């Protein structure tokens, strides 16, 4: 088995550039004894096997489909593939087994402190499959993981609040710096950067858009900083003494966790050591003999977005993309223009459940994955803020073209590599019926569970979050230098070297 540089991408109706090189290994079928044949490439780029007697046999082109792609961006390198194989539920099980061995030998001090963070999108997917509420899923998964030896189970919705607050602050700062003007040489638009499939694609193919990326970390990597810095100090441990696992809806999150920007050179550890997808978690529990539907429930840990009684989960208004657009628009409207409009109002208008006199919503080409959401001035009725959602590469392509040609008018764009955003992540559970109609309904049901899974709470009204901010960053809070280091990242354009094997002769 060897990697081929001449593979062509096919059947990718939601992919941007057919012909992209891919790392999919191709098994070469041997015909038996060597017959002295050789390979010829004709003028159209087709390959032929030419026998000694001159007979030519056209070789079948290797093909891959979306099901073969590891990341939504479709441009995963072999080095990244190795990193991904290092991240699976087997790695978590190996750490838990090693902890048991160390403790049985009286060396418990050497054991890793294991923390698992679960995404609310993953809970929604598990809730749909097992026919229970996301709250019940949260309590049962917590109990199951702790029974297996995990020390803490956290909720990425908790650090999503921190991400939302910081990303809104970043947007307002950049809006003021550019005086609301969009385009080259300016700090607008702000492109949401929490989707690693989008980041991976932009870094490898469109580095010119990177200056517009939001530098605020995703909720996964924000939790990584919380666990490996804030929690580690509270537990009097070094970062390498904690093993942090996240349960995510997307395989691309494995790539995000593997970025060098989230690696601690001093302690030789990553902020997130291992990423397990929703499907991998479900499979791990089944392999451990745990039936989630009949599993016991337990209380939730402190870093969970729940009320004091732990009988209600809190959520953020918006789609499974995370609520960034809704919260940033609400915060910016209040801060920049003195317009009081809640994230719930923005979300409801965006879903066309209600109308709002100050919000104009337009589905571009009647596509639900590409919506323009505009905030109007209450006096002049002129646009104050122009926001948009762009989900799926089909729409992302148009966005990139507009950005590069200077035709984009948006101040903020919420970008997701997957159509229908994160409810449709590649790591989510799938329906038993493989038909497109069943798949579409499954994603819609997952989205509905996610959107209705809890009461809405503004991030700034989360008392536990406020306590963490000032306990971690000191009296300066989010204005401190430590906060800027812990909550922000950077992006790197990659120079692609031409592979001669991928050239059509």
What are the backbone dihedrals phi and psi of residue 299, each rounded to the nearest 5 degrees, phi first?
-70, 160
Nearest CA among 374, 423, 353, 352 for reference residue 121: 423
Average model confidence (pLDDT) across the chain: 84
Q: In this predicted structure, what is the pLDDT of residue 53?
A: 79
Which sign, positive or negative, has the C-alpha torsion 260, 262, 263, 269?
A: negative
Q: With residue 256 as reference, give the H or E element that holds it.
A: helix 252-257
- Close Cβ partners of 280 (under 8 Å, ≥ 6 residues apart): 88, 89, 427
What six digits make up the tokens of 426? Answer: 């590649």
Q: What is the pLDDT of residue 234?
A: 93
Q: What is the pLDDT of residue 410?
A: 96
Chain mean position to CA 121: 10
- pTM of this structure: 0.82
Tens of pLDDT, residues 152-201: 999 999 999 999 999 999 999 999 999 999 988 889 999 999 999 899 88
Q: Is the pLDDT of residue 65 over 50?
A: no
Q: Which residue has the higher pLDDT, 191 or 498?
A: 191
Instruction: Give pLDDT, residue 3.
Output: 28
| Tokens describing residue 460 | 């700034």
Biggest CA–CA distance in the chain, Å, is 84
Tell me the H-state helices in 8-74.
Answer: none
Q: What integer pLDDT is reported at residue 316 of this predicted model?
A: 87
CB-count burial class (<10 Å; 0-12, 13-18, 19+) for 440? middle
Is it the case that residue 379 has pLDDT exceeding 50?
yes
Computed from CA positions of residues 215, 216, 219, 224, in that sequence, does the dihedral angle turn out positive or negative? positive
Give backbone dihedrals phi and psi of 371, rounded to 5 degrees, phi first: -120, 140
SS3 213: strand
Tokens representing 226? Answer: 């919380």
Strands (DSSP E) along 348-411, which ranges?
A: 359-363, 370-376, 383-391
Over residues 2-31, the pLDDT tens digits come to 322 333 333 333 333 333 444 444 444 555
Q: Which of 482, 169, 119, 134 is nearest to 324 (CA)?
A: 169
Query: For residues 383 and 411, what is the distance between their CA atoms, to the nearest angstrom?
Result: 11
Confidence of residue 348 (pLDDT cuts 50, 70, 90): very high
Measured distance CA(38)–CA(346) in Å, rounded: 64
DSSP H or E stretch at residue 276: strand 274-277
pLDDT at 490 over 60: yes
| 146 CB-near residues (< 8 Å, 6+ apart) | 153, 298
pLDDT, position 412:
97
The residue among 1 and 244 whose pLDDT is bigger is 244
Q: Cα separation of 96 and 195, whole Å?
A: 29
Q: Per-residue pLDDT averaged across 319-326, rounded? A: 93
Write the burial class of residue 407 (CB in 10 Å: 0-12 exposed, 13-18 middle, 19+ buried): exposed
**Cβ within 8 Å of residue 404, ≥6 positions away:** 206, 208, 209
CA torsion sign for 295, 423, 432, 24 is negative
CB of 429 closer than 8 Å to CB of 208: no
Mean pLDDT for the stretch of residues 418-435? 92
d(CA 266, CA 3): 35
3-state secondary structure of 203: helix
The SS3 call for residue 370 is strand
Q: Which of 385, 382, 386, 358 is nearest to 372 (CA)?
A: 386
Q: What pLDDT was estimated at residue 216? A: 97
What are 195-239's pLDDT values in tens digits?
998 998 888 888 999 999 999 999 999 999 999 999 999 999 999
DSSP state of 114: E
Q: Where do we find the tokens 């628009």? A: 329
In whole angstroms, what is the distance from residue 185 CA to residue 406 CA? Answer: 11
Higher model confidence: residue 170 or residue 505? 170
Dist CA 169 CA 459 (whole Å): 13
- List C-alpha distances in Å: 74 to 58, 158, 252, 342, 500: 28, 30, 10, 37, 19
Contact 131, 294 (CB under 8 A): no
For the stretch 243-257, pLDDT in tens is: 999 999 988 898 899
Q: Which of 28-42, 227-241, 299-313, 394-408 has the lowest mean pLDDT?
A: 28-42
pLDDT 10s digits, 398-422: 899 999 888 999 999 999 988 999 9
Omega within 30 of 0 (cis) for the link into 186: no
Checking if the pLDDT of 325 tops 50, the result is yes
φ/ψ (deg, to 5) at 191: -105, 120
Q: Give residue-wise pLDDT tens across range 435-488.
A: 999 999 999 999 999 998 877 788 888 888 899 999 999 999 999 999 999 999
Distances in Å between the alpha carbon of 297 and those of 113, 132, 198? 22, 12, 37
CB 450, CB 120: distance < 8 Å: yes
If one counts every other C-beta atom within 10 angstroms of the C-beta of residue 28, the result is 9
> Per-residue pLDDT tens for 81-127?
555 556 788 899 999 999 999 999 999 999 999 999 999 999 999 99
């Amino acid at each position: 088995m060897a990697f081929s540089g001449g593979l062509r991408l096919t059947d990718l109706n939601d992919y941007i550039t057919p012909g992209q090189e891919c790392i999919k290994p191709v098994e070469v079928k041997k015909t038996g004894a060597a017959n002295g044949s050789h390979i010829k490439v004709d003028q159209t780029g087709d390959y032929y096997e030419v026998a000694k007697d001159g007979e030519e046999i056209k070789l079948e082109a290797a093909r891959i489909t979306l099901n073969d792609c590891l990341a939504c961006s479709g441009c995963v390198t072999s080095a990244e593939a190795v990193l991904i194989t290092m991240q699976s539920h087997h790695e978590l099980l190996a750490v838990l087994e090693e902890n048991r061995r160390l403790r049985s030998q009286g060396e418990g001090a050497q054991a890793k402190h294991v923390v698992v963070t679960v995404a609310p999108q993953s809970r929604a997917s598990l809730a749909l499959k097992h026919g229970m509420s996301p709250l019940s899923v949260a309590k049962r998964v917590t109990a199951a993981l702790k029974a297996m030896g995990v020390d803490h189970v956290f909720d990425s919705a908790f650090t999503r609040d921190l991400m939302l607050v910081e990303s809104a602050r970043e947007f307002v700062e950049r809006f003021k710096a550019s005086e609301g003007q969009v385009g080259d040489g300016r700090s607008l638009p702000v492109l949401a950067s929490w989707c690693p499939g989008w980041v991976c694609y932009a870094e490898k193919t469109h580095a010119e858009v990177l200056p517009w990326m939001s530098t605020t970390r995703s909720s996964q990597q924000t939790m990584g900083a919380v666990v490996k810095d804030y929690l580690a100090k509270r537990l009097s441990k070094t970062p390498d003494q904690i093993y942090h696992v996240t349960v995510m809806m997307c395989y691309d999150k494995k790539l995000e966790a593997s970025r060098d920007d989230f690696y601690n050179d001093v302690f030789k550890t990553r902020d997130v050591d291992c990423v397990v997808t929703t499907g991998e978690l479900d499979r791990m529990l089944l392999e451990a003999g745990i039936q989630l539907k009949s599993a016991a429930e337990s209380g939730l840990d402190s870093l969970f977005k729940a009320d004091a009684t732990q009988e209600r989960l809190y959520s953020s208004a918006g789609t499974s993309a995370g609520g960034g657009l809704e919260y940033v628009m609400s915060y910016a409207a209040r801060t920049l223009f003195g317009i009081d409009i809640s994230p719930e109002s923005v979300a409801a208008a965006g879903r066309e459940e209600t109308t709002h006199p100050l919000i104009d919503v337009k589905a571009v080409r009647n596509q639900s994955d590409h919506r323009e959401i505009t905030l109007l001035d209450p006096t002049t009725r002129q646009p104050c803020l122009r926001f948009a959602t762009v989900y799926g590469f089909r729409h992302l392509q148009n966005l990139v073209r507009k950005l590069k040609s200077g035709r984009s008018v948006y101040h903020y764009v919420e970008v997701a590599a997957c159509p229908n955003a994160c409810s449709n992540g590649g790591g989510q559970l799938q329906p038993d019926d493989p038909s497109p109609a069943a798949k579409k309904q499954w994603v819609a049901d997952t989205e509905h569970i996610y959107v209705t899974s809890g009461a809405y709470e503004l991030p700034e009204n989360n008392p536990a979050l406020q306590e963490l901010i000032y306990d971690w960053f000191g009296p300066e809070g989010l204005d401190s230098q430590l906060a800027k280091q812990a909550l922000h990242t950077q992006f790197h354009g990659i120079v692609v070297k031409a592979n001669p094997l991928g050239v059509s002769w």
